[in-house]
């Protein structure tokens, strides 16, 4: 039997070996979930929300336990998984509030005279089985966080967490199934890419979070069966700092946005563009702040280990290549000499877009800073990327920041802040360009897990035959054409002139 060896990134020691699943098991789980889904859908939004509310209480009561697991298997400091469990509560509260309205049948009044006498109702039905394939950087948020709206919509959900750190997700699913005894419409699949591929084949809708390369493979495989997908594929997010901005706040924000979760944040700052007049002050403040960061996994640490061991080589390669091409390291720049996957919080300057550290996703504790002449150059360089997940702007005032935000090619832009959109479940979170397809959160984050069905009825008696039905005759054709001119024509065309 194949097993997953789950290690502590902090020191490389083995936590446990977990039996991995195979494609045959995926098929069995998918069939079991589909069987349970029928009753789950039939109890309606009100019945489903009873269980979602119970699960919300379980997540709240067990938050510390989940955080401990996520810390150990992720090499993370406590604040980061705590943010995950907090955001899960926000997601649940939002969908409890809006789901009854969004999922209720919606009556639509036709705007065309051709709809006179007719009645239209839009119904929503869930995709029976949703497959969620999550990332290793925020394992709870990127699996349970996507499963929740799918469950609210009436779907059954199969989760495939990363093989690197699946234990917190396994425990969260156990809580649903065993502790609160919820209907068996949520399950977890363990394994590597072969299990993910089997889940794509089995699901009716796929939510994927991960790299661009893997996301493309998911999309291609799903296209074979025309299975709809929603993809969140990471980013290379820019921060712009301009003259007149609050430089102290901008520097603190840059350090948090660049080094939170040890730089393993899809929307983390991986490129910083600073106007020349405030560049020196900004860099000095950033370097001083970064030097004060404490690496470790105890409760007094700021930056943990890298969760996925291969990421250490990517971070090291990006820094070494940048230095070889002329970049300067102002602090950090090296692996930390201890067991586990550790790299020093690093600040680079004299970087440019010929370097991989400015073009590829680094996903580690590295912050490259570029001096720019003005806002126009900053915007041009910020948009010079295949990614477009999010961005931040610090300017002289909010109005200027908002005007610059309109020019940025990104799914979200925070003014004088870092990913402010993520604390608001009412707005969508999605990316442009190679950062993904579709979005999560907001109304879209629920409705994407549903089909629409339009029922067209009528409230008045209908004739035996309509004017545009058979038989086709010149007289009826002229009558229909005249009616179309009357409805849609403007000026002389209304009279057929």
Q: What is the DSSP string of 74-106?
A: HT--THHHHHHHHHHHHHHHHHHHHHHHHHS-E
As given in the structure block, the two tokens for residue 76 are 């993370």
Distance CA 441, CA 94 (A): 9
Q: What angle do CA 315, 296, 323 make, to 5 degrees?
A: 25
Q: What is the DSSP string of 282-322?
A: HHHHHHHHHHT--BSSSTT-SB---SSHHHHHHHHHHHHHH
Q: What is the DSSP string of 435-462?
A: TEESEESHHHHHHTTEEEEEEEEESS--
Which residues have C-beta within 8 Å of that of residue 275, sequence separation ≥ 6?
241, 242, 243, 372, 373, 374, 375, 378
Handedness of CA 69, 169, 5, 132 (dihedral sign): negative
Q: What is the DSSP string of 178-208?
A: IIS---S-EEE---SHHHHHHHHHH-SEEEE
Identify which of 451, 27, 448 has the alpha carbon closest to the alpha carbon of residue 199: 27
Q: What is the DSSP string of 232-293?
A: E----EEEEE-TTS-HHHHHHHHHHHHHGGGG--TTSEEEEEEEHHHHHHHHHHHHHHHHT-
Distance CA 448, CA 439 (A): 9
Q: Is 266 a catalytic residue?
A: yes
Residues listed for the chain: 497
Maximum distance among all Cα pairs of the chain, rounded to whole angstroms: 90
**324 burial level (CB within 10 Å; 0-12, 13-18, 19+):** exposed
Distance CA 205, CA 12 (A): 36
Distance CA 46, CA 51 (A): 9
Out of 84, 266, 344, 400, the active site residue is 266
Q: Is 232 a catalytic residue?
A: yes
Out of 232, 270, 344, 361, the active site residue is 232
The residues carrying an active-site annotation are 232, 266
């Amino acid at each position: 039997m194949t097993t997953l060896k789950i290690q502590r990134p902090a020191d490389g020691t083995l936590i446990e070996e977990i039996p991995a699943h195979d494609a045959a098991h995926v098929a069995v789980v998918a069939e079991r979930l589909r069987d349970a889904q029928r009753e789950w859908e039939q109890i309606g939004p009100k019945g489903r929300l009873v269980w979602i509310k119970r699960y919300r209480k379980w997540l709240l009561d067990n938050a510390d336990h989940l955080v401990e697991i996520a810390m150990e298997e992720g090499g993370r400091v406590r604040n980061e998984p705590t943010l995950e469990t907090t955001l899960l509560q926000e997601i649940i509260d939002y969908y409890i509030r809006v789901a009854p309205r969004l999922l209720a049948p919606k009556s639509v009044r036709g705007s065309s005279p051709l709809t006179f006498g007719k009645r239209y109702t839009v119904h929503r039905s869930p995709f029976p089985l949703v497959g969620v394939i999550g990332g290793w950087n925020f394992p709870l948020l990127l699996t349970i966080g996507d499963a929740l709206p799918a469950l609210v919509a009436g779907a059954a959900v199969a989760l495939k967490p990363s093989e690197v750190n699946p234990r917190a997700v396994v425990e969260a699913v156990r809580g649903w199934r065993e502790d609160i005894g919820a209907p068996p419409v949520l399950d977890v699949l363990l394994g590597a890419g072969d299990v993910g591929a089997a889940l794509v084949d089995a699901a009716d809708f796929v939510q994927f979070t991960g790299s661009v390369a893997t996301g493309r493979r998911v999309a291609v495989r799903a296209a074979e069966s025309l299975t709809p997908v929603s993809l969140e594929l990471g980013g290379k997010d820019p921060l712009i700092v301009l003259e007149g901005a609050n430089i102290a706040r901008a520097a603190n924000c840059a350090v948090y946005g660049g080094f939170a979760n040890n730089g393993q944040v899809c929307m983390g700052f991986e490129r910083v563009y600073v106007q020349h007049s405030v560049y020196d002050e900004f860099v000095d403040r950033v370097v001083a702040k970064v030097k004060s960061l404490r690496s470790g996994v105890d409760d007094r640490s700021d930056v943990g280990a890298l969760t996925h061991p291969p990421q250490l080589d990517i971070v090291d390669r990006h820094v070494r290549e940048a230095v070889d091409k002329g970049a300067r390291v102002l602090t950090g720049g090296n692996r930390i000499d201890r067991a586990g996957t550790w790299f020093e919080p690093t600040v680079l300057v004299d970087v440019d877009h010929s370097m991989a550290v400015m073009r590829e996703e680094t996903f580690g504790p590295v912050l490259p800073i570029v001096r720019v002449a003005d806002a126009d150059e900053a915007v041009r360089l910020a948009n010079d990327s295949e990614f477009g997940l999010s961005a931040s702007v610090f300017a002289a005032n909010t109005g200027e920041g908002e005007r610059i935000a309109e020019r940025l090619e990104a799914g979200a832009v925070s003014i004088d802040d870092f990913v402010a959109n993520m604390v608001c479940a009412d707005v969508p979170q999605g990316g442009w360009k190679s950062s993904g397809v579709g979005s999560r959160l907001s109304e879209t984050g629920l409705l994407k897990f549903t089909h629409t069905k339009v029922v067209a009825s009528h409230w008045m008696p209908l004739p035996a035959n309509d004017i545009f039905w058979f038989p086709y005759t010149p007289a009826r054709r002229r009558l229909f054409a005249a009616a179309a001119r009357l409805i849609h024509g403007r000026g002389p065309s209304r009279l057929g002139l």
